[in-house]
Amino acid sequence: MSDNDDRAEDKQGTPPLPAFPGAPAQPEAPDAPDAQQVPPAPETPKAPDVPQAPSAPVTPPQAPAAPPQAPSAPPQAPAAPPHAPSAPPQAPAAPPQAPSAPQAPQQPPYAGGQYVPPSAPPQAPGAPQYGAPQNGAPQNGAPQNGAPQYGAPQNGAPQYGAQPTAGYAAPKGPKRKLGTGALIGIIGGAILVVVLLVVGVVFGISRIGGMAGGGGGGGGEEPKAQASSPSDAVTDYLTAIADGDAKTALGYLSSPPNDSTLLTDEALAASAELAPITEIDVPETKGESGSADVTATYMLNGEPITTTFSTSDYDDDGKWEISGGTGSIYTEPFDGLGLTINGVEVDAESVEVFPGTYELATSLKNFTLSGPTTVTITEPYESADTSQIKPALTEEALQQFRGLVRAAVDACIASTTLAAGCGIDLPATISDGTQLADGTITRSLSADSNATLDSLEATPSYDNPTLVEGEYIGSPSVEADCTKDGATGRCSIYFAPALGTPSVDMASDNPVVNWD
């Protein structure tokens, strides 16, 4: 055995196959193969006494001894591939434990003089098979459709080690233990199969979930309703709203809104109480080009409404949907007031609503909303006008606010110190150099200022509507003991500081008056 043979055996783990007989007695040497295509061939034994009795290899994938009709003196195997062999190889002798006769073969023979090494040892019954060539190929290793290149398969014939077709196979050799590499490959393959199965299950679940609805929005996608025409989509949509069926109504929208806080049965029931939708009339409309505008009329609390909806069949599946279909209510000015719309608490800058009537209110005990607190949506993409709706104190809370401010003012006016609070503190030395004696200050309010306190208006702050501010009250009259240019006496202070602007957080459990 050559050095090349030793190296080949070390790399592959099993000795390479001997040359396969089946060529004419004296074939011409084929062209030299590429060095990377043909591995070194092992040293082969002498031909057996009976060349027609091939035998199975002791360890796959060695070829049996010799097929029927083998020549009496086959050529020798090449000495050192990848160079062309000097003479055709001889048929190998029957190894130990070989049967006396081969089973009926089906794998086609190789071309004369060619040797095709296996890429990996095949498993039984992957041994090569013998017999008459398939597809009318000539016997005795004659080349088919022209002489094939060295090591090339014949006319699509299976490579050495391929799974044989149905029929008799060569006898199996003794089983060999799997090597470490094979075990790692089997375990890795099993893990890959499990991973692929898990991915497939997750993907399937995702697909099922994704097909349940028809657009993102709210708490999840809604199942699509079926409408075979543009007019059917609008009719069924308005009917579902009138019936208080929010889920069905959402099914007719091509893309349900992102916020579904008020797209509920509860909100629709309250809308129907305020102003029911009746007498829905939608003329028949056919979409010729995948989209159509549909004009609908209905009565809203006895008032006739005419609205145009845009419909489409983007998927071209005969199911029509409404683009848009909802309006909105801007709610940011009521932030912090515990806003409710049709009895549903709202905590967002803007909310989407179905066509209908909606009443705004607050859940805070000290507050109410003034102005036209009921708004109506009749057009897709319409935004309700809430500019005239203002937060305000309840009558009881207003009296509480006035009482808090009056008490604070009275305490400040009664103070005899320079620092009295309420925005009416005095300096120890006023602008003309007069010095004021602390503890000798007297203050008093005019009749107008007292009247203002009794009817003080309370205005919620725009940025923080629970913070309620009062109006201008006025300046008190002030007297104090004073000293100027060495003379001491009682002085009247003109242009004394005025009372500040009172503000109270009326949402607090313990409201306190602050002065700006």
Q: Quick check: 130 and 67 in contact, CB under 8 A?
A: yes
Q: Give the mean pLDDT of 176-190.
A: 48
Give the residue among 51, 56, 58 at the shortest CA–CA distance from 15: 58
pLDDT at position 318 is 86
- The most confident of the ranges 110-119, 127-136, 286-295 is 286-295
**What is the C-alpha end-to-end distance of the chain, expressed in Å?**
107
Band the pLDDT of 189: cuts 50, 70, 90: low
Q: What is the pLDDT of residues 245-265, one digit of tens each?
A: 999 999 999 987 888 999 999
What number of other Cβ atoms are within 10 A of residue 479's Cβ? 16
Peptide bond into 372 cis (omega under 30): no
Question: Which residues are registered as beta bridge partners of 390?
Answer: 370
Tokens of 268: 């629709």
Alpha-carbon span 237 to 9, nearest angstrom: 78
The helix/strand/coil state of 265 is helix
pLDDT at 182 over 70: no
What is the DSSP pairing of strand 321-323 with strand 435-436? unpaired
* CATH no. for 230-391: 3.10.450.50
Band the pLDDT of 317: cuts 50, 70, 90: confident
pLDDT at position 223 is 62
pLDDT at 390 over 50: yes
pLDDT at position 19 is 40
Tokens of 382: 């319409």
Q: What is the pLDDT of residues 336-372, one digit of tens each?
A: 999 999 999 999 899 999 999 999 999 999 999 999 9
Looking up tokens 């028809």 gives 214
pLDDT at position 227 is 86
pLDDT at position 231 is 94
Q: What is the pLDDT of residues 477-501, one digit of tens each?
A: 999 999 999 999 999 999 999 999 9
Identify which has the larger pLDDT, 206 or 221. 221
pLDDT at position 222 is 55
Alpha-carbon span 268 to 245, nearest angstrom: 8
Q: What is the pLDDT of residues 54-101, one digit of tens each?
A: 444 434 444 444 444 434 444 444 334 334 334 444 444 444 443 444
DSSP type of residue 85 = P
Q: What is the pLDDT of residues 140-172, one digit of tens each?
A: 443 444 444 444 344 443 443 434 334 434 444
CA dihedral 258, 261, 263, 269 (to 10 degrees): -170
Alpha-carbon span 393 to 374, nearest angstrom: 19
DSSP per position, 192-254: HHHHHHHHHHHHHHHHHHHTS-SS--TTSPPPPP--SSHHHHHHHHHHHHHTT-HHHHHTTBS
pLDDT at position 256 is 78
Tokens of 120: 């990996």
Q: Give the mean pLDDT of 365-385.
A: 96
Q: Quick check: 157 and 151 in contact, CB under 8 A?
A: no
pLDDT at position 314 is 83
Average pLDDT over all residues of the chain: 72
pLDDT at 448 over 90: yes
The helix/strand/coil state of 272 is helix
pLDDT at position 4 is 42
pLDDT at position 286 is 81
Q: Quick check: 41 and 28 in contact, CB under 8 A?
A: no
What number of other Cβ atoms are within 10 A of residue 439's Cβ? 11
Q: Is the dihedral of CA 389, 391, 395, 401 positive or negative?
A: negative
pLDDT at 416 over 60: yes
Phi, psi of 512 (to 5 degrees): -130, 145
Q: Quick check: 371 and 388 in contact, CB under 8 A?
A: yes
For every residue of 374-417, which 3-state class applies, written as one string?
EEEECCCCCEECCCCCEEEECHHHHHHHHHHHHHHHHHHHHCCC
Q: What is the pLDDT of residues 269-308, one digit of tens each?
A: 999 999 999 999 999 988 778 899 999 999 999 999 999 9
CA angle (157, 158, 160) in 5-degree steps? 125
- The most confident of the ranges 31-35, 214-218, 317-321 is 317-321
pLDDT at 9 over 80: no
Alpha-carbon span 457 to 454, nearest angstrom: 9
Domain boundaries, the chain: 1-176, 230-391, 395-515
Q: What is the pLDDT of residues 14-34, one digit of tens each?
A: 444 444 444 344 444 444 444
